[in-house]
Structure 1
């Protein structure tokens, strides 16, 4: 999920090339509503940090971690990095622009 249409298209393309079927949401609030209906078929949340609405990517990650722990979480931003406690320990953060070859790196904390 991203509020920038070009980044959303690129992320969707990368995920679909990797074999994922994608749902899109333009805000954290919209993502939560979508997950309430489709959480049983979702295995990965990929979200930007900064989005319109009352739920940013960090809050969305914490909500997903609490309500649907089977969903893997990847949060991205080109403007900020998470502070300790911003995201669940099991979540992965990547900087933007997203590189198709990105690998998971643990956060120092």
Structure 2
């Protein structure tokens, strides 16, 4: 008699978009140590290709608003929300950029002012994932 082993829950996946290799690698290693699968991208074009491919399934995009590519910053957030609605978006940028774009913050999601502590990014990822999970739970 064989009993089927339950499949382990897949680790949540964060797509980390940042052209700064040091920032990207430090944050990626921190998130991995916290139990997340992390996919790294250096441009918005690369990030969109990963999302389009669909493997791995991305839960959260954490993107630097100044990362290069055809679709940058808040336009990238809008694009991801329209075409990949199951992906949460967090944008990181300079405090001045965040202030300049303040009118968009409510529509485009949370932002982190750079430089930020990796724990702040982790807290925001967890908050968004918890909100999405509670939105999926059926009412009792």
Unaligned runs of 5+ in 2: 1-16, 125-140
Superposed counterparts of 1:11-26, under 5 Å? 11-26=27-42
Q: Over aligned residue pairs, what C-alpha RMSD do you find? A: 2.0
Aligned length: 103
Matched residue of 1:41: which SS?
coil
Superposed counterparts of 1:74-93, under 5 Å? 74-78=90-94, 80-81=97-98, 82-85=101-104, 89=107, 91-93=109-111
Larger Rg: 2
Is 1:72 the counterpart of 2:88? The answer is yes
CA distance in 2: counterparts of 1:99 and 1:93, whole angstroms: 13
Shift of 1:30: 1.3
CA distance in 1: counterparts of 2:75 and 2:67, whole angstroms: 11
Say if 1:34 and 1:18 are closer, same or farther in 2 by CA, change over 3 A.
Answer: same
Correspondence for 2:43 among 27, 34, 52: 27
* Greater Cα shift, 11-20 or 25-34: 11-20
Preserved CA contact (<8 Å) 2:44 2:67: yes
Matched residue of 1:31: which SS?
helix
Q: Which residue of 2 aligns with 1:95?
A: 113
Shift of 1:7: 0.7
Structure 1: 4+ residue segments shifted above 6 A: none
CA distance in 1: counterparts of 2:56 and 2:83, whole angstroms: 11
> TM-score, normalized by length of structure 2?
0.65
CA distance in 1: counterparts of 2:77 and 2:36, whole angstroms: 19
Unaligned runs of 5+ in 1: 105-109
Greater per-residue helix proportion: 2
CA distance in 1: counterparts of 2:112 and 2:35, whole angstroms: 20
> TM-score, normalized by length of structure 1?
0.81
